[in-house]
Amino acid sequence: MHINLSGKTALVTGSTQGIGLAIATGLAGAGARVAINGRSQASVQRAIEKIADTVEGADLVAVPADVTTDDGTAALRAALPELDILVNNLGIFEAVPALEIDDEQWRRFFEVNVLSAARLTRTYLPGMTERSWGRILNIASDSAVVTPVEMIHYGMSKTALLAVTRGFAKAAAGSGVTVNSVIAGPTHTEGVEDFVYQLVDKSVPWDQAQRQFMVEHRPQSLLQRLIEPEEIANMVVYLSSPMASATTGGALRVDGGYVDAILP
């Protein structure tokens, strides 16, 4: 399958590392002009250099901004008045016992993981519908469906993101714009390595720690390993393409079979 996104401009929020960086690399490899976003100019520049080393001739734009704020979103809109592809990837997570999650943590997770995506969708969807083409992807998680006891505030935010996705897909009905979420399973990133070591013995080597984590905390995974970020990116690149024109309002799983359900 050849995916050609030449002539399309994409924004990936939180694209300086992990899944976001892999998605940005995948979109650049398909020919899109990709805006790299993070909170600092330095982190954005490092990501751009990594992608340029991987994708020859990559067309990349630096857009450092805090998209969890109105001012940051306004600055981003000024730099990128129009988008063809919006990937709301920015997200935070942490392990906290349920009864120790305070009100501020509940608010913070909702504002970062849900409201930032809703705000950017509200910003760019009208232009997409006017041009009768666009792709909006929200990066969700298996935690949206299988609420993890060690971080229910994170699970809540990703469940809400599925509802936000479905609602905006209805708002875009018949416009040529598709809105989907991608349910990512347990994925191997630097942040996840830190998370794994919150739950298992910090003294053991990474390969052993990963296996212990999957057995003890994610035993329902059919893949029985952490997913690599590039595997998530492959789905996002496909959904960003004209080939996925009939897929909208969906929650597409790249979860390694973690969610024990037939649909979707």
Which range is most confident: 41-45, 199-203, 211-215?
A: 41-45
**Single-letter residue type at 247:** T
Residue 54: is its pLDDT beyond 90?
yes
Alpha-carbon gap, residue 155 to 106, rounded angstroms: 11
3-state secondary structure 103-127: HHHHHHHHHHHHHHHHHHHHHHHHH
Helix H or strand E segment including 206: helix 206-217
Q: What is the pLDDT of residues 92-140, one digit of tens each?
A: 999 899 999 999 999 999 999 999 999 999 999 999 999 999 999 999 9
Q: Which residues pair with 181 in a beta bridge?
A: 138, 251
Tens-digit pLDDT profile for residues 176-186 = 999 999 999 99
Residue 209: the pLDDT is: 93
Q: What was the pLDDT predicted at 165?
A: 98
The Cα diameter of the chain in Å comes to 55
Confirm if 239 and 252 have CB atoms less than 8 A apart. Answer: yes
Predicted local confidence at residue 263, as pLDDT: 83
Closest C-alpha among 82, 91, 38 to residue 63 = 38
The pLDDT of residue 35 is above 80: yes
Mean pLDDT value across residues 17-29:
98
Tokens of 52: 């340029």
Does residue 37 surpass a pLDDT of 90?
A: yes
pLDDT of 224 above 90: no
Residue with tokens 């999957």, as numbered in its chain: 214
| 9-188+226-254 placed in CATH 3.30.930.10 | no
CA distances from 106 to 143, 147, 181, 243 (A): 15, 15, 22, 38
Q: Is 197 a catalytic residue?
A: no
Nearest to 258 by CA among 183, 193, 195, 200: 183
How confident is the model over 32-45, as a mean pLDDT?
Answer: 98
Give pLDDT tens digits for 206-222: 989 998 999 998 899 99
pLDDT at 264 over 80: no
For the chain, the domains span 9-188+226-254
> Rounded to whole angstroms, how far apart are CA atoms 262 and 227?
20
pLDDT at 218: 87
CA dist., res. 3 & res. 85, Å (int): 14
- Choosing from 124, 154, 197, 258, the catalytic residue is 154
Mean pLDDT for the chain overall: 96
